[in-house]
């Protein structure tokens, strides 16, 4: 099979998946940001009229909305100069939340933005490995400090999301 016989997702060009993710002209839609549209559809289905109203604006971008909110309310490792710096993190956060992603994994993937303190991801990994190899009181304490920072970041993200009026816990009939 040649490369030209494959579609964007690595399947045959006539695969079901390529048809699902194509526009009416057959162009594959991989790589398009549809989080705002997806949010609007969910708002309609869940009857969240306030969310539906703000997503109806064709210039509304969910990732930008969340970045603005994060600038105001989310404790971050550093103070960004603008919300634009947070857009990629918020885009990833929202996409993964909509698809059932775990906040713990999102925190890990954006360690240098979301985890309070000064330790790096590499320092955390090194501390955990060191504690496993040669556990001492000092290595256990360092690992605990880092683990607490990760838990704090996950808690901060939970509080941030739950403060958004149309975000809720499972079963509340809101986005979550």
pLDDT in tens, the chain (176 residues): 444 444 444 444 555 656 666 777 877 766 666 667 788 888 888 888 888 888 888 888 889 999 999 999 999 988 889 999 999 999 999 989 888 889 999 999 999 999 988 888 998 888 888 888 888 888 888 888 889 999 999 999 999 998 888 876 556 655 55
Tell me how far CA of residue 109 lies from CA of 20, 68, 112, 123, in angstroms: 29, 20, 8, 15
For residue 30, how far is the Cα from the chain centroid?
A: 18
The C-alpha atoms of residue 85 and residue 68 are separated, in whole angstroms, by 10
Q: Cβ neighbours of residue 60 under 8 Å, at least 6 residues apart? A: 36, 54
Beta bridge partner(s), residue 167: 175
> What SS3 state is found at 171?
coil
Q: How many residues does the chain have?
A: 176
């Amino acid at each position: 099979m040649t490369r030209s016989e494959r579609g964007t997702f690595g399947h045959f060009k006539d695969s079901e998946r390529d048809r699902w993710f194509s526009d009416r002209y057959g162009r594959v839609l991989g790589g398009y940001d549809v989080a705002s549209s997806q949010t609007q559809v969910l708002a309609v289905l869940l009857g969240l009229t306030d969310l539906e109203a703000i997503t109806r604006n064709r210039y509304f971008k969910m990732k930008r909305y969340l970045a603005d909110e994060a600038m105001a309310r989310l404790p971050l490792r550093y103070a960004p100069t603008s919300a634009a710096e947070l857009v990629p993190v918020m885009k990833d956060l929202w996409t993964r939340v909509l698809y059932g992603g775990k906040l713990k994994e999102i925190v890990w993937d954006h360690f240098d933005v979301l985890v309070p303190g000064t330790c790096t991801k590499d320092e955390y990994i090194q501390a955990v490995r060191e504690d496993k190899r040669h556990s001492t009181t000092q290595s256990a304490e360092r690992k605990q400090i880092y683990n607490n920072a990760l838990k704090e970041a996950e808690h901060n993200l939970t509080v941030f999301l739950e403060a958004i009026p149309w975000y809720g816990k499972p079963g509340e009939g809101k986005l979550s």
